[in-house]
């Protein structure tokens, strides 16, 4: 007696089910990691993120976040992981407000040249003296925070994928 081989549809269904299970598992692990990373973060006592971007525009995250979530991205031109995350932040900036804070990355001109070289257009506040990062308890780059109505609703550090950022923004 010969065994009946599964059809293409059955195999495809099996693999789609496995992929869905994997996505749910990865999402749960990412959520737990975000919660663990932010466990000691006092989200209500942060100073406002405001300042003048290297392009001259005034930025106030509290005002920007009044009606929609804002992605706040702490990064550095010297950070190798940021080189992998910044393209995702650039993609998100087409759909959501983004404010970035460049930590100890040189002068406004140096940061501007870096942005131009990589084709990034999101606004950048230069944190040359590391004061904003310190005020916000940022010790790891990249750090991504989602601010909604002036409050931190999501916090993660290290590598984050484009889908990971999208989900965080949509859930905010």
Q: What is the mean pLDDT of residues 62-70?
A: 93
| Total domains present in the chain | 1
- The partner residues of 60 in beta bridges, in order of sequence, read 50
Q: What is the mean pLDDT of residues 149-163?
A: 87
Residue 72 lies in a domain: yes
Integer Cα distance of 144 and 110 in angstroms: 22
Q: Is the pLDDT of residue 43 over 60?
A: no
pLDDT of residue 146: 93
Residue 24 lies in a domain: no
Residue 75 lies in a domain: yes
Q: Is the pLDDT of residue 3 over 90?
A: no
Residue 99 lies in a domain: yes
- Whole-prediction pTM: 0.78
What is the rounded end-to-end Cα distance, in angstroms, of the chain?
57
Residue 8 lies in a domain: no
Least-confidence region, from 22-26, 27-31, 33-37, 59-63: 33-37
Q: Is the pLDDT of residue 56 over 90?
A: yes
Three-class DSSP category at 60: strand
pLDDT of residue 164: 87
CATH for 63: 3.40.30.10
Q: Is the pLDDT of residue 2 over 70?
A: no
β-pairing, 70-75 with 124-127? unpaired
Q: What is the mean pLDDT of residues 53-59?
A: 94
Task: Give residue for tokens 């790891």.
Answer: 140
pLDDT of residue 6: 85
Instruction: Say which residue, 12 or 124, is predicted with more confidence.
Output: 124
pLDDT of residue 46: 63
Integer Cα distance of 36 and 122 in angstroms: 28
Domain of residue 55 covers 50-171
């Amino acid at each position: 007696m010969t065994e009946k081989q599964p059809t293409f549809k059955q195999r495809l269904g099996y693999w789609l089910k496995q992929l869905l299970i994997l996505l749910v598992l990865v999402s749960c692990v990412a959520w737990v990691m975000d919660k663990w990373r932010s466990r000691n973060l006092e989200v209500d006592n942060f100073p406002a993120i405001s300042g003048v971007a290297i392009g001259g525009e005034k930025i106030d995250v509290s005002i920007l976040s009044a009606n929609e979530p804002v992605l706040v991205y702490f990064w550095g031109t010297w950070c190798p992981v940021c080189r992998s995350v910044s393209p995702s932040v650039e993609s998100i900036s087409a759909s959501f407000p983004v404010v970035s804070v460049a930590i100890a990355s040189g002068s406004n001109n140096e940061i501007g040249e870096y942005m131009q070289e990589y084709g990034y257009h999101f606004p950048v506040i230069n944190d040359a003296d590391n004061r904003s990062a310190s005020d916000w308890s940022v010790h790891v780059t990249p750090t991504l925070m989602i601010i909604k109505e002036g409050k931190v609703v999501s916090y993660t550090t290290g590598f984050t994928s484009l889908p990971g950022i999208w989900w965080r923004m949509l859930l905010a």
